[in-house]
Amino acid sequence: MDSRFSVDFVHRVVFTRGLFQPGNPTLVQTLRGGASGLAVFVDSGVAAAMPQLESQLNSMLSAAESAPELRAFLVVPGGEACKNDRTVVDQVLDVVNRHHLCRRSWVLAIGGGAVLDAVGYGAAVSHRGVRLIRAPSTVLAQDDAGLGVKNGINRYGKKNFEGTFAVPWAVLNDLDLLASLPDRFWCGGFSEAVKIALLRDRDFFAQIEHRADQIRKRDMSAAVPVIQRCAELHLAHIVGGGDPFESQEARPLDYGHWAAHKLEQLTEFQLSHGEAVAIGVALDTRYSAEIGWLTHGESDRVLSCLERLGLPVSHPALADTRLTEGLEEFREHLGGNLTVTLLRGIGSPSDANAMSTDAIRRSIDAIMSSSRMTTI
Amino acid sequence: MDSRFSVDFVHRVVFTRGLFQPGNPTLVQTLRGGASGLAVFVDSGVAAAMPQLESQLNSMLSAAESAPELRAFLVVPGGEACKNDRTVVDQVLDVVNRHHLCRRSWVLAIGGGAVLDAVGYGAAVSHRGVRLIRAPSTVLAQDDAGLGVKNGINRYGKKNFEGTFAVPWAVLNDLDLLASLPDRFWCGGFSEAVKIALLRDRDFFAQIEHRADQIRKRDMSAAVPVIQRCAELHLAHIVGGGDPFESQEARPLDYGHWAAHKLEQLTEFQLSHGEAVAIGVALDTRYSAEIGWLTHGESDRVLSCLERLGLPVSHPALADTRLTEGLEEFREHLGGNLTVTLLRGIGSPSDANAMSTDAIRRSIDAIMSSSRMTTI
């Protein structure tokens, strides 16, 4: 008896400003139609920048008709460290139990990608899934990580080894949250925009190139359209790409990611995900040129764009001989045959089932000798 | 940007005999098209009854062309106790890591419902889901639990508090595995058959009634069609019921389960799930008569059928005043408003949004005074 069935999902994404300011209806509207309990988990970075957040939330919810009640407000450490053990996941389970949150109750996670991942995993395994609202606080989380339909924590030193696929109830991107980001995390978010432009949209890459200096100066009029277009392309991939829960071998959006994940691990997460992706993209772009798929002119254009955005394209850890173990770990996490996306042109991706260790080495040498060696 | 999308799943269910005997192609056929690693987790009850299992598996796999390699074979304690902490879940994660199992590798869980739940949860959160094959070894697991698209462990004394929805790769029901079951677990599996007959198929109930004495005597010719029909109705509900991941409030198949889950907890799992379901079904059936939805004649027929199958319909724990907390816990796990399925006739379920404490009390008094008080 083989039975086929399908399950319908809705992915809600909103861009707004002043999400927690009185008069902004987004959050209250999103919280309609569920149960009466809400628990909030806030990234320590956001909590430090917004000391009034808990009272703002309380005022907003008590002013609204039939809004849920704020039953718990917890600050959790931001950054990848919060994914290295079960602490945050267990905190979510404990709060759900202690405050009698049911499957239709709400967990609101406010923070960077790591906090969204750890809190999201806890929410996903409580009662087999409490409703999760994400309010991403970094460029990277707003234009990429926060839109994903996955969550998880690191284990055995392997990134996202433990986790689930789960569609969030909603993703509320408050552009004002980006104002308090340190420069490093501002810049870091644009590596995923470069990545998806390289894979999907040649014109979008040209737009990023054109605005790179303004973006680096944090000119919101230049940056916001890039953040929104990047989010739109990621969302389109999830809902229209035909494989949201990654059951196929190809990982078409993981350009540069085999090296990025390994670099994060080798540097003990001193490199942020956004920075590691920039280096991984630089490597796979130079590699694409090295094997003759891409012109060296196009490869240089990509590396130069990353650098103008304030992103690193090189790092001493590239010389670590363990780097290429990242290819096997990447394959193992996904399963099946190795499938790495490379470039035949800007906006023209193509899959490879193997990478040459020699060409990887030549690419690394070229990058390390020619790059400005941006200091992290 | 609200985006709707759907994800396709395949649910494979096979009934067979001698699944691990040479010449039975079922397992090897199921293991095609994935990666080369397999880890097996066996219920201690099955391992005791089948001391040759590991070598049988090794012979079968090495005799077959391009079958995966048996990389780990672990015996885990059977029974609900294995769900009361993280031990088994962590064992699965450790094996997946240590033996480099990827997302397309295989985890085979052989055992009763509790082992399938705990091993299944570990498989579901490793790499966001390694392929899980279930070989249920009890009547209850073959006709009900093993077909479900969920997994989990108990936490905070609450059944299945932590877990995920996940569709198994395949469910292989070996009827020969039932031969070594203790009588108690043989009988226990038929409470779910009575339950689904009451909800879905009046004629099926009559068939069970007619065969009850033969089934109790473990006459396979009487029992197997009942087990298979029960499995078929459960599977039809999952794949055709429109809500496999339980996003709606109604839990149409959870007849008698609010009390069953609480009785398991109150008796510290001395009552098996099947026994607790029999008592829960007896209670909600008598309750349906008590509030005038069902005739007392029909209610008596149901209780008598359960007793003839060797199932308990009463237990001293019914008198525990904490029993009705089970209603609130049931609501909380599911979320939203309380929805309890009751009967307006055999084969005619109807939902209620509240239960009267008085009528529950009267139902319990009636059951406890009239039943034969089957001793567990």
Give the mean pLDDT of A259-282: 95
Sort strands A131-136 and A170-174 into parallel, antiparallel or unpaired.
parallel
| Bridge partners, residue A313, by sequence | none
| Bridge partners, residue A73, by sequence | A40
Residues 251 to 310 of B: which have CB under 8 A from any A CB? none
Q: By CA distance, what is B235's nearest residue in A?
A: A3
> Shortest CA distance to B136 belongs to which of B90, B178, B86, B182?
B178
CA distance A72 to chain B (A): 17
Q: A2, A4, A5, A235: which to substitute to probe chain B, counting the most B Cβ within 10 Å?
A: A5
The answer to the question of residue B88 being in a domain is: yes
A12/B contact by beta carbon, under 8 A: yes
Residues A195 and A291 in one domain: yes
% of chain A surpassing 70 pLDDT? 98
* Three-state secondary-structure class, residue A170: strand
The pair of three-digit structure tokens given for residue B262, joined into one six-digit string: 């609480």
The C-alpha atoms of residue B342 and residue B232 are separated, in whole angstroms, by 22
Name residue A341's amino acid: T
Residues A36 and A120 in one domain: yes
pTM for this prediction? 0.94
The C-alpha atoms of residue A227 and residue A218 are separated, in whole angstroms, by 12
**Which residues are CB-neighbours of A344 under 8 A, at least 6 positions away?**
A288, A293, A294, A350
Location of structure tokens 């300011």: A21
* Three-state secondary-structure class, residue B251: coil
The C-alpha atoms of residue B203 and residue B27 are separated, in whole angstroms, by 34
Residues A86 and A157 in one domain: yes
Q: By CA distance, what is A150's nearest residue in B?
A: B128
CB pairs under 8 A between A and B: 172
B100/A contact by beta carbon, under 8 A: yes
Among B145, B180, B215, give the residue marking a domain's end: B180
Q: What is the CATH number of the domain that holds B358?
A: 1.20.1090.10
The answer to the question of residue B242 being in a domain is: yes
| Domain range for A49 | 13-180
A158/B contact by beta carbon, under 8 A: yes
The answer to the question of residue B191 being in a domain is: no
pLDDT in tens, A256-266: 999 999 999 99
Residues B258 and B316 in one domain: yes
Residues A130 and A29 in one domain: yes
Q: Tens place of pLDDT for every residue, chain B, 376 residues?
A: 689 999 999 999 999 999 999 999 999 999 999 988 999 999 999 999 999 999 999 999 999 988 999 999 999 999 988 999 999 999 999 999 999 999 999 999 999 999 999 999 999 999 999 999 999 999 999 999 999 999 999 999 888 999 999 999 999 999 999 998 999 999 999 999 999 999 999 999 999 999 999 999 999 999 999 999 999 999 999 998 888 988 887 777 899 999 999 999 999 999 999 999 999 999 999 999 999 999 999 999 999 999 999 999 999 999 999 999 999 988 887 777 889 999 999 999 999 999 999 999 999 999 999 765 444 4
Residues B228 and B365 in one domain: yes
CA distance A365 to chain B (A): 31
Name residue A337's amino acid: N
The answer to the question of residue A97 being in a domain is: yes
pLDDT for res A375: 43
**Which residues are CB-neighbours of B206 under 8 A, at least 6 positions away?**
none
The answer to the question of residue A365 being in a domain is: yes
Inter-chain CB proximity B7 and A3 less than 8 Å: no
The answer to the question of residue A5 being in a domain is: no
Among B180, B208, B231, give the residue marking a domain's end: B180
The Cβ of residue A12 has, within 10 Å, a number of other Cβ atoms equal to 15
Residues A124 and A25 in one domain: yes
Inter-chain CB proximity B8 and A8 less than 8 Å: no
| Bridge partners, residue A87, by sequence | none
Inter-chain CB proximity A333 and B6 less than 8 Å: no
Name residue B284's amino acid: D
Q: For every residue of B291-340, which 3-state class applies, written as one string?
A: CCCCCHHHHHHHHHHHHHCCCCCCCHHHHCHHHHHHHHHHHHHHCCCCCE
Residues A84 and A124 in one domain: yes
Q: Is the pLDDT of residue A376 over 50?
A: no
Q: Is the pLDDT of residue A372 over 70?
A: no
pLDDT for res A371: 60
The C-alpha atoms of residue B324 and residue B262 are separated, in whole angstroms, by 8
Residues A290 and A356 in one domain: yes
The answer to the question of residue A7 being in a domain is: no
Confidence of residue A243 (pLDDT cuts 50, 70, 90): confident
Task: With beta carbons under 8 A apart, name residues in chain A contacting B120.
Answer: none
The answer to the question of residue A24 being in a domain is: yes
The C-alpha atoms of residue B156 and residue A360 are separated, in whole angstroms, by 51
Q: By CA distance, what is B4's nearest residue in A?
A: A10
In total, how many domains does chain B have? 2
Residues A146 and A165 in one domain: yes
Q: What is the CATH number of the domain that holds A61?
A: 3.40.50.1970
Q: By CA distance, what is A240's nearest residue in B?
A: B5
The C-alpha atoms of residue B161 and residue A101 are separated, in whole angstroms, by 11
Q: Decide: A12 and A81 in contact? Cβ < 8 Å.
A: no
A242/B contact by beta carbon, under 8 A: no
Sort strands B2-16 and B37-43 into parallel, antiparallel or unpaired.
unpaired
Name residue B60's amino acid: M
